[in-house]
Chain A
């Protein structure tokens, strides 16, 4: 009897506690954080793949080449470029057709924040301290500034013209913006998030007015400005002008222009700091620029529609997107080193290189796969079904993280 009484008393107490719990439960805000499984313990251990048409990010283990997880972003998002924050906490992408930025937890792979940004967000960059996420909106001629601490968009930097890529200075005080719709490099004061200078690259030739179809038919300006590995100069290629401008970041002015091939797409820096390469889609060549002399060291035959250059094992790998080939160059002799056939009737996109400079991870959109190229042996391995229309890849701390 005594036991029954105690049981009943306890039952009553539990009901009270339950009632109180129910009451307080209703008071709790909806921002409860659910514990989630950690899918990626080490952010440097995965290759991030941005899948444009399946609207997701896939994460592939570098060692096993298995997809360890995917983050679905939503229908018609069409993400463009993926990047991990330098501190390894978040993975972000811009949804080109959703006009939003997507922030994913790099360990749980959960989508933790969606932030409306400008029009058609594509390429992006992080400040070195991971505080600021600059999302370029080329169709909106703006950059959306996202504070990663509060996870809010704090400002929209306007006055740009089709901003394609953003490069922060190593100290994070300035950012340089390649304007593909113009022929100047924008300098952003990161403290104020304001455009503080437009660096004029070069005059147009006097005969430009005779060629309105070329110069008024569309602008092929500056894709990106990149620092030489020693941080001394910033290099920016201009498509219409066919030049590479050498910019002194101390004064933010052009100190030299280097004439390269026709319609250089952009510039890529070799990891040893000796050379840079511009793929010239106008004449299907590459120009190898000597960074010490600031002059063209070699102009070599390449392929059509080049979208990227990666460096590994002392070689340069130039992606010819529509031909299905990757052209190889020996960076010691500056001579051609053959070409790798990736496939027939395939569309190659962009690639990243692992931090050991041993392997390339190339997105091949038509077959929904990532092609892994061993830089030393040039052997090819294909990882299929990574998602629909893989558009680009990214590895944390890689020196070849870029997009087209």
Chain B
């Protein structure tokens, strides 16, 4: 009797034998199409081993952040092979609006091997090429790499602390939100230049910044009307140097100091005018001595909308500002075209100012300042001022700044007196700005009054792109019937960003008490350096 078991296993064994034969033979045959001998298989394995070795070494070297841009250059160099491959035959027009098929992967798109490495290629030449590339990359890296640590920085982070003192990154029931600081380390390959730049920027943030504003003004006086005076045909020269110190001392808090040294002569010594012929002279207290012109602290609160400034200051930096006529170092030289005399401030002093500026076009300023360096208390010679300003656009014009101010002072010693005024600068076109001021100040009997106006030209309306020039007129009239008329023109050559050369010509006509007139033409030149 034949065993059923014996009889049934035969075909099975045959099938297994065939299957095993196929399973072994077919891959072997397939492999043999590329590597025919056992030696070739060994060679291929050696190549693959070498690639693996090189990639491992390359990974070790490359993972460390590189600090040398030359390395990056070197790494990229072997990758520029397909440069000369034309994308399309010359003259072929790309059909406009051609849309690529919407389904299926593009050739070469392989999530499993996005770099397209041929490490598992069965073609020995591919493997040799790959080894060549890797060896070159490794050589470049090992010969020129400057290794550095991963970038580390400390960050302010918000965390949640539960009642048991556990810290959580996300809100959990019962936890309170708090702020802490934590180190963070990232893999960022920085170049040497970036690291140097960051170090310099960090140093800049913590140092005291020093700036210099130096000016030399030479003027000449020619009498045009009235009796001879000592000033006729006299020349003058004034040299001024301001040293600025700025330091950020706390969050949103700044310290600023301006030390000024001034020496020389100016026409005001010899020509009796109601306002200063040379605006620099307003700074002159003592010849050839350094004095503290300003020293104040400024901090910002209410989300940066409210700025508070306290210390020794010049309140005209905040009140009665004007974009076209506000700076004797770069615009008009005559003091009547720098400030409004009806403000009444004669010198800098201790003060306080608050500026509310939500940056929506409206701003509000309020402050006080003492304007008498011989005062024995803060109660004397106090000027209290407030200003409302806004930005608007009139039809067919550019933007305009309109400011209105009011002030009181007790400088006369006979109670408070008031004054009010306005300061306007309106762009008529991108290159022309119209400006004007008006002011009145209470005097003993009636009021003193002042107005000025003019035009400023800039934005390329000159010889060089940065040049500015202007024409202005100012008239001051006192209650005592004294009157002054000033005309000035200037041309400011912007030689460099730090150096400017300005030619001025101004004419002062003084109508003094008793009806006598005195006129002077005062041409001048100003050399101004800021750095």
Selected contact of B108 from candidates A151, A298, A337, CB within 8 Å: A151
| Closest B residue, CB atoms, query A116 | B79
Q: Is A78 an interface residue (CB 8 A)?
A: yes
Quote the shortest CB–CB distance from B298 to chain A (angstroms). Answer: 15
Are the C-beta atoms of B189 and A23 separated by less than 8 Å?
Answer: no
- Contact partners of B8 in chain A: CB under 8 A: 1, 4-5, 8
Are the C-beta atoms of A214 and B496 separated by less than 8 Å?
Answer: yes
Q: Is B444 an interface residue (CB 8 A)?
A: no
| Closest B residue, CB atoms, query A366 | B155
Are the C-beta atoms of A53 and B188 separated by less than 8 Å?
Answer: yes
Are the C-beta atoms of B464 and A205 separated by less than 8 Å?
Answer: yes
Quote the shortest CB–CB distance from B116 to chain A (angstroms). Answer: 7
Cα(A157)–Cα(B76), bound, Å: 15
Are the C-beta atoms of B251 and A33 separated by less than 8 Å?
Answer: no
| A19-B19, A191-B94, A344-B251 known; A139 vs B69 contact (CB < 8 Å) | yes
Q: Is B107 an interface residue (CB 8 A)?
A: yes
- Contact partners of B358 in chain A: CB under 8 A: 338-339
- Contact partners of B158 in chain A: CB under 8 A: 384
Q: Is A274 an interface residue (CB 8 A)?
A: no
Q: Is A58 an interface residue (CB 8 A)?
A: no
Are the C-beta atoms of A150 and B107 separated by less than 8 Å?
Answer: yes
Interface of chain B, main secondary structure: loop
| A171-B96, A191-B94, A337-B360 known; A149 vs B497 contact (CB < 8 Å) | no
- Contact partners of A327 in chain B: CB under 8 A: 359
- Contact partners of A333 in chain B: CB under 8 A: 393
| Closest A residue, CB atoms, query B252 | A344
Q: Is B316 an interface residue (CB 8 A)?
A: no
| Closest A residue, CB atoms, query B104 | A33
Cα(A206)–Cα(B63), bound, Å: 50
Are the C-beta atoms of B87 and A154 separated by less than 8 Å?
Answer: yes
Contact with A along B6-32 (1 / 0, CB 8 A): 001101101110111011011100110
Contact with B along A80-106 (1 / 0, CB 8 A): 000000010100000001010011010
| Closest A residue, CB atoms, query B92 | A191
- Contact partners of B187 in chain A: CB under 8 A: 53, 55, 75-76
Are the C-beta atoms of B188 and A172 separated by less than 8 Å?
Answer: no
Cα(A5)–Cα(B12), bound, Å: 9
| A15-B16, A129-B94, A335-B361 known; A113 vs B79 contact (CB < 8 Å) | no
Selected contact of B65 from candidates A55, A76, A152, A334, CB within 8 Å: A76
Q: Is A295 an interface residue (CB 8 A)?
A: yes
- Contact partners of A128 in chain B: CB under 8 A: 96-97
Cα(A384)–Cα(B76), bound, Å: 35
Task: Of the listed stretches A140-148, A225-233, A247-255, A352-360, name the one at the interface; the rest are far from the partner chain.
Answer: A140-148
Are the C-beta atoms of B186 and A53 separated by less than 8 Å?
Answer: yes
Q: Is A63 an interface residue (CB 8 A)?
A: no
| A112-B114, A155-B86, A191-B91 known; A336 vs B188 contact (CB < 8 Å) | no
Interface residues of A in 109-145 (CB under 8 A from B): 110-114, 116-120, 127-132, 139-140, 145
Are the C-beta atoms of A139 and B100 separated by less than 8 Å?
Answer: no
Are the C-beta atoms of A129 and B98 separated by less than 8 Å?
Answer: yes
Are the C-beta atoms of B12 and A335 separated by less than 8 Å?
Answer: no
Cα(A153)–Cα(B19), bound, Å: 45
Cα(A214)–Cα(B498), bound, Å: 10
Contact with B along A291-305 (1 / 0, CB 8 A): 000011111110000
Are the C-beta atoms of B99 and A20 separated by less than 8 Å?
Answer: no
Quote the shortest CB–CB distance from B11 to chain A (angstroms). Answer: 6
Q: Is A404 an interface residue (CB 8 A)?
A: no
- Contact partners of A23 in chain B: CB under 8 A: 22-23, 25-27, 30
Are the C-beta atoms of A31 and B303 separated by less than 8 Å?
Answer: no
Quote the shortest CB–CB distance from B292 to chain A (angstroms). Answer: 28
Q: Is B88 an interface residue (CB 8 A)?
A: yes
| A19-B19, A33-B111, A34-B111 known; A298 vs B464 contact (CB < 8 Å) | no
Are the C-beta atoms of A113 and B186 separated by less than 8 Å?
Answer: no
Of B62, B107, B110, the most chain A CB neighbours within 10 A belong to B110
Are the C-beta atoms of B106 and A150 separated by less than 8 Å?
Answer: yes
Are the C-beta atoms of A152 and B80 separated by less than 8 Å?
Answer: no
| A191-B88, A338-B358 known; A99 vs B460 contact (CB < 8 Å) | no
Contact with A along B75-103 (1 / 0, CB 8 A): 11001101111111011111111111010
Cα(A130)–Cα(B94), bound, Å: 12
Quote the shortest CB–CB distance from B160 to chain A (angstroms). Answer: 12
- Contact partners of A103 in chain B: CB under 8 A: 109, 114
Selected contact of A335 from candidates B31, B83, B391, CB within 8 Å: B391
Selected contact of B109 from candidates A112, A158, A344, CB within 8 Å: A112
Q: Is B230 an interface residue (CB 8 A)?
A: no
| A118-B80, A334-B393 known; A154 vs B496 contact (CB < 8 Å) | no
Are the C-beta atoms of B22 and A16 separated by less than 8 Å?
Answer: yes
Interface residues of B in 276-314 (CB under 8 A from A): 303-304
Cα(A336)–Cα(B110), bound, Å: 51
Interface residues of A in 249-308 (CB under 8 A from B): 258-259, 295-301
Are the C-beta atoms of B398 and A12 separated by less than 8 Å?
Answer: no
Q: Is A22 an interface residue (CB 8 A)?
A: yes
Cα(A112)–Cα(B114), bound, Å: 5
Selected contact of A12 from candidates B12, B72, B188, B393, CB within 8 Å: B12
| A16-B18, A27-B30 known; A112 vs B359 contact (CB < 8 Å) | no
| A130-B100, A298-B399 known; A116 vs B83 contact (CB < 8 Å) | no
Are the C-beta atoms of A205 and B398 separated by less than 8 Å?
Answer: no
| A112-B111, A113-B116 known; A87 vs B87 contact (CB < 8 Å) | no
Q: Is A398 an interface residue (CB 8 A)?
A: no
| Closest B residue, CB atoms, query A289 | B430
| Closest B residue, CB atoms, query A130 | B100
Interface residues of B in 219-261 (CB under 8 A from A): 251-252
Q: A151-B108, A172-B94 are in contact. List 12 more A-B contacts (CB 8 A).
A: A12-B16, A12-B19, A30-B112, A53-B186, A78-B189, A97-B188, A130-B100, A148-B106, A150-B108, A191-B90, A205-B466, A335-B393
- The contact sample of 7 A-B pairs, CB cut-off 8 A, is A78-B189, A117-B76, A154-B82, A296-B459, A298-B393, A299-B398, A300-B391
